Structure 1
């Protein structure tokens, strides 16, 4: 089993599970318990990959300051790629800066090391919004004091999932950002987010995630599909998202992208440098397909960075 004793990352008290690293609190409700048992078959499958001979043949990756737990997407991708988690930086083929915090400081790495995400030091919502507006050339943020009508208010912090729609104008609350409401509704009374896994600026595939409008800002999904990138994003849009990822200094991660029905434009509303997944709502077959596809792209990316640095 996983040697890092990942269950120690949590505290339980009065029906609430708290993630020690981020402070995120999750009420232990039937839906959460159901999602955990839905995730277990995939977890055990990936554990079986770790013991195959091919698991010892891939690159060695050193993670700092934290080691990824099984619910992070990079964990199954590593094992699907036959990669190993190195014990020290000196023996690693690449160094992955892995920190679930919203903001962090740059970590020291060996000279000439291939480093992933070291310079992605902030995924605060205000920073994401500022970079998005600079790259795409149109606004997502609003001034709550002067904005008239509905707007989204949400925490700066990573993983809070506390967004809500409020009416403006109003006085801003500390620690919150305010954004325009994007009309990402789709048939069936649902909203759709485009989760774009990004590796070295590439988006190998897209995961359209749908939820009923009443659960617009929830962390769970009612339906998740797997589609080819070209079927939902034009080549020009893919190039813009790659430019955005480069401006964020994001080598590996997930972009949450909304398409507004009213103007057809894309809006990047969140960046995840330690993204979780594959999404629970996906079938086991789709989880395997996504993981293997991302593993292939990750190995290609490592090969390209190796040829650049060596």
Structure 2
């Protein structure tokens, strides 16, 4: 039985670790926030007291943490993964971070003969629970093949997209598309409500045509009801849009629509809405349209 060490048991990490345990892997988890550990133990997993214990007991180590700084601390710190890793051990980082950070971790691991993959995911909390995530993987082809039995438990679409850092580059593009699509869905909803259209019926027909997308499928109902419980928080999408805009600037690529949406997300975070789901972009569209506080006809 392969032992998988899973570091980071938050909204995304906990259900992913649980799915691995349910699939028959021996999972040992760790999170700096103790209450998060309960989900894994209920599924038959074990809990470690620190990162070192995870690495020493695991065949494969997975991280799902917040940002580049967290990955640097967990992977490269004095008590981090590489400080305790063994030659030949596989380390899969599934966080969403800067491509340059992924390349730096892989470079630091190479002299130790530790195999590294960057494998960020898309699909949100629902995808993590369902095991239906889309996973974009950067690193060596042989290492990807070795990781596939684990990745296929948590993801429905698992694709090797290139060398170290490539997974994070594709994830940045994913976040660009998602943010732009949420903003356009938000604008469409407010537009429809202003014209007293049956918005639920409108969403059904839009979802069946060329305008159909996963945001309409997964987020529209909550947006219509003005429910913004976090599946993916504004705080995290703000971080990701920073990665996108910086990477685009470095490459000399112009992303005018993406930059505009990044500013709208930044505005939501700045006013204290960072803990809401990223579909809360609808709140800004309401306000900019002078419709804040109005009850949509479908809710009246």
TM-score by length of 2: 0.27
- The structure carrying a bigger strand percent of its residues is 1
The higher-RCO structure (CA 8 Å, 6+ apart) is 1
- The structure carrying a bigger helix percent of its residues is 2
